[in-house]
Amino acid sequence: MNADTTLNIHARFGTLHDYFSILEKRQAESDEKDKLFETLSGDFFTYADRDDHYWSGYFTSRPFYKHMDRSLQHYLRSADISFTLANWKAQSSGKEWQGTKMYDSLIDARRAMSLFQHHDGVTGTSKDHVVIDYGEKMVAALNWSKMIIASAAEYLLKFPQTRDQGLKVDEEHSVDQLPTKSVVEDGGTVVIQNSLGYDRSEVVCIY
């Protein structure tokens, strides 16, 4: 570039110190020494090369699916812990737990989350039909995780198997809208699980 004078370019390597030193030197040599640097203000929305195809980067692209991924991580961790505790209790007590049959679903849920966390998934750079497929797999993984959590909780708490309705986890997820909270009817039972490895105090809102 420097050798081609028609380009009117002089490129060089430099540090931030080099950059600001030259900037200050040019300002000192300028005829308008009192003039401040021009500033821009306003809404700097991200660059779009066409239509609404914004180059918004990792942190602002496809926030809906990033939210779903974070939710799946939480539910999957709780499902892992619940499954482990219930399976350990079943083996140590000799009492059968039906949830052991859900192990394949737990593996599938892990794979669905891992698939989305591929560099073309969680970054938000996939094509629309690919992202929709990711979303469908994550919703299925969320539902599997919730089934395992509910089944393990019922087993660990010795809920009677003759009950008409099983436990429902607090949110319902879908592919195309934000999760909705489950409503607890009067007289319902609420089970709260701490999936962390230590005690904590937290406010829990019940609808």
Report yes or no on 13 lying in a domain.
no
Contact between 10 and 2 under an 8 Å Cβ cutoff? The reply is yes
Report yes or no on 56 lying in a domain.
no
Indicate the pLDDT class of residue 164, thresholds 50, 70 and 90: low
Half-sphere exposure of 59 (CA within 13 A, CB side): 1
Q: Is this structure's pTM higher than 0.75?
A: no
Report yes or no on 190 lying in a domain.
no
Report yes or no on 20 lying in a domain.
no
H-state helical runs in the chain: 16-29, 63-93, 103-116, 128-156
Report yes or no on 9 lying in a domain.
no
Summarize the confidence of residues 130-147 as an average pLDDT.
94
Which two three-digit tokens encode residue 6? 């028609």
Contact between 180 and 171 under an 8 Å Cβ cutoff? The reply is yes
Report yes or no on 111 lying in a domain.
yes
Report yes or no on 28 lying in a domain.
no
Mean per-residue pLDDT of the chain: 86
Report yes or no on 44 lying in a domain.
no
Contact between 145 and 179 under an 8 Å Cβ cutoff? The reply is no
**Residue 33 has what pLDDT?**
62
Q: Is the pLDDT of residue 156 over 80?
A: yes
**Residue 43 has what pLDDT?**
67
Q: Is the pLDDT of residue 105 over 70?
A: yes
Summarize the confidence of residues 40-64 as an average pLDDT.
73
Summarize the confidence of residues 89-103 as an average pLDDT.
87
Q: Is the pLDDT of residue 36 over 80?
A: no
Which CATH number is 137's domain given? Answer: 1.20.1270.50
Summarize the confidence of residues 85-107 as an average pLDDT.
89
Q: Is the pLDDT of residue 161 over 80?
A: no
Quote the CA–CA distance of 37 and 138 in Å, as a whole number. 50
Indicate the pLDDT class of residue 56, thresholds 50, 70 and 90: low
Indicate the pLDDT class of residue 69, thresholds 50, 70 and 90: very high
Instruction: Return the amino acid letter for 98.
Output: Q
Residue 160: how many other CB atoms lie within 10 Å: 6
**Residue 44 has what pLDDT?**
67
Residue 82: how many other CB atoms lie within 10 Å: 23
The number of domains in the chain is 1
- The range of the structural domain enclosing residue 121 comes to 63-181
